[in-house]
Structure 1
């Protein structure tokens, strides 16, 4: 899959394509349905498939303090899109200039002059342009005069409810990881590089892997039972994700994972952590000794949870 950062980096081979536009946060089953149809149309027309995304996402640009937590960082989103068979991704910087484009200007600038789109797949709730008049009907009429076709994706429902990124976030907030997995089509996970931390957990007797998040907000917070693949083997563990209120920090979310019975050096490696069950909310303790007692109880709960069932079986 090719990644194109900005319209100025488009080349002749990127033009003349079948495209879709959106945030695709989490690449959930609703997104997957759009991408499946995108692949079908690309094959039918003999053209490359292209996904147009924005960085930052529009709500992060307009209201960074209240924008919802991302389900996946850009790096992870790109991997998920590649796994869905997308040929190319056009990542547009969502800035003041782009935000001021009307629906008509967006079509002219991005779809026609930029990508020379021949067919467009859009979600049923897609809207665009600073005037907010850009929707399926607007695109369809524009396509008739500009030489591209438009198709609206069918809504994907699970349990009678429409699949959406918001539904996934709500499932995570409720610690309903079974529902999140049904909505995503895979277990919820967070990836990042292992960094050196304060070594405080080591002093407390439970060394942790500090996973770099690079997020303003995390999509969940608390203490969880987790697992990760390390050197081809699944290792169970217990993780805290949050702002670490007992220890003085920078207020940013951190992910710290203690793997049961694992010994080895993980610094510098990328790790994908899968979340299975919530043990408790993150809380502030009166002392480090109280924190240590709580951590020991979390580790004991993790051992009890996995006791008698191999990790590979429990993750099926």
Structure 2
């Protein structure tokens, strides 16, 4: 999949099959649209194109509201879309000027003149252009003039999966990572470089890798203990994964190793912690991985964060947490 971070980088196609949206989570509803996009591109001899935006439009239109957290980072979203077989991903910066384009300017300047759109696939409620005034009516009015066709995914087809990005965010904020997975079709994950902590875990027999999430807009699930798997590069490839760059190409093939473990999210109230930590105790693992980017897949919520009377009581509970985690993996041996 080819990735572009500016519309100006994209070379106009002769037969582009296009869909547009933020696609946060790339959940089952989104996947229906994207599957149809790829089917049409293949059957018509065209190339599939997704036009998405970053930052998220709500971050620009309502900058005072810092409450919006996203299910995917832009890199995570790109990896998922590559796995779905998309040919081109355009990540265009969403700016005030961009938001002020009228619906007809949006269609002519971007979809037609820049991308070369011949077919458009949209969800039933897709809106675009200044004040989100554009929709199917405007797309249909311009179709004959600009020689493209439109296919709208019916509301019933989308609602059949009973899923939305809002529902997924709520599930994660409640700690219900299993419910989020049923909506997403994959495990929710967090990625980031391993940073040095205060090494208290080592003193009680539970060393942890502390993960720094660089993207402040990334949604972090509820505080507590989780069963997780951890993916990382082999020992010979300990440098962080290459970030997405302009006009780059993304392959989903890699040689990452996977380990089981239990993760903690919280402020460590037992030791009067002041900051929210994300850390993982990786089972049967003793490598130093400071600086390496690792990926943590959330499988099951085990318990809420609790303040214990001291480290001894905490240690006893951590042994129980590990037993519960191992029991989960025994019941789910495919993970």
Aligned to 1:274: 297
Question: Does 2:249 match 1:247?
Answer: no
Aligned to 1:6: 6
Change (3 A) 1:111 1:296: farther
Query: Offset at 1:135?
Result: 1.3
Question: Do the aligned residues in 1 keep the contact of 2:192 with 2:293 (CA within 8 Å)?
Answer: yes
Query: Offset at 1:168?
Result: 1.5
Q: So what's the TM-score if we normalise by structure 1? A: 0.85
Whole-Å separation in 1 of the counterparts to 2:69 and 2:61: 14
**1:258-299: CA deviations, max 9, x gaps?**
12342222223332212122233346x59xx73674365144
Question: Do the aligned residues in 2 keep the contact of 1:18 with 1:117 (CA within 8 Å)?
Answer: yes
Query: Offset at 1:242?
Result: 4.5
Query: Offset at 1:34?
Result: 0.7
Change (3 A) 1:137 1:244: farther
The within-5 A match list for 1:54-93 is 54-64=53-63, 65-93=65-93
Aligned to 1:140: 140
Change (3 A) 1:161 1:305: same
110-119 vs 57-66, greater mean Cα deviation: 57-66
Question: Do the aligned residues in 2 keep the contact of 1:17 with 1:42 (CA within 8 Å)?
Answer: yes
Question: Does 2:41 match 1:42?
Answer: yes
Whole-Å separation in 1 of the counterparts to 2:268 and 2:170: 23
Change (3 A) 1:146 1:233: closer
Question: Does 2:53 match 1:30?
Answer: no
Query: Offset at 1:72?
Result: 1.0
Whole-Å separation in 1 of the counterparts to 2:149 and 2:70: 31
Query: Offset at 1:56?
Result: 0.4
Asked which structure has the greater RCO (Cα within 8 Å, sep 6+), the reply is: 2
Whole-Å separation in 2 of the counterparts to 1:81 and 1:46: 20
CA-based RMSD of the aligned residues comes to 2.7
Aligned to 2:248: none
Whole-Å separation in 1 of the counterparts to 2:228 and 2:75: 21
Whole-Å separation in 1 of the counterparts to 2:119 and 2:328: 53
How many equivalent pairs are there?
A: 307
**1:79-99: CA deviations, max 9, x gaps?**
000000000011110112112
Aligned to 1:172: 172
Query: Offset at 1:312?
Result: 5.6
Q: Secondary structure at the match of 1:113?
A: helix
